[in-house]
Amino acid sequence: MTSPETNTNPPLSGEDRLRLRRRRIRGVWIVALSVGFLGGIAFGLADGGDLPLSPAPFWSLLALVAGGVVAVNIWFIRRVDELEVMDNLWASFVGVIAHILIAACWVAAAARGYAPAPDVLAVLMATVVVTFLAYIGLKLRRRLG
Amino acid sequence: MNNRLRLLRAERGWSQAELAGRIDVSRQAVNAIETGKHDPSLSLAFRIAREFDLSIEQVFDGRDA
């Protein structure tokens, strides 16, 4: 352990601390997204190729992915400031409302024969897009408004 | 909520990024508080006041901007 007398490093300025904090958060996101991207490609190749996954490795892999996504998001939300948490909550709220509306309207329309049967993946993608747009909108409003 | 953050920061010659690093928030958060677009939580308001060696009332006056 270093005693205060032997520690010759000057204290970091606020700007340095902010830079370090930004770099750490950016680094974790880059690593997480890279692992997710490469893992997704590997999973797709294994699943669609000559090495179809049996149930045990398949579920283990899914559990690993789900655990990783939850862990990274908890880590992120505990390290960012309250403004970022608020923006994330608002965007998530808009996403949930959009998800409910899109799914409910599509199911109602399909039941009456006005639309094809609901596609889960399309509803999911629409939810992700709306959530992302809401988040960008909040950021832009703060920056421009 | 009205506050004297910009003035206090200028008195010390700190940039928004400098203050942000000192109170462990983003520069955007400092800007949002200064311009009255975000009211800080009680714990953040205490952190800000402590950074300037002032009481909360000396930084924030509690009236809407």
Q: What is the pLDDT of residues A96-117, one digit of tens each?
A: 999 999 999 999 999 999 999 9
| pTM for the model | 0.81
Give pLDDT, residue A19.
93
B17 touches chain A (CB under 8 A): yes
Cβ within 8 Å, pair A18-B27: yes
Q: What is the mean pLDDT of residues B8-18?
A: 95
Tell me the C-alpha distance between B29 and B32, whole Å: 5
Cβ within 8 Å, pair A17-B19: no
Our CA-based measurement puts residue A13 at a distance from the nearest CA of chain B, in whole angstroms, of 7
Tell me the C-alpha distance between A108 and B61, whole Å: 52
| Nearest alpha carbon to residue B18 among B3, B31, B32 | B31
Of A29-38, A55-64, B11-20, the one with minimum mean pLDDT is A55-64
Domains of chain B: 5-54 (1.10.260.40)
Please give the single-letter amino acid code of residue B59: V
B8 touches chain A (CB under 8 A): no
Does the structure's ipTM exceed the value 0.90? no
Cβ within 8 Å, pair B38-A80: no
What are the backbone angles phi and psi of residue A8, rounded to the nearest 5°? Answer: -100, 0
B26 touches chain A (CB under 8 A): yes
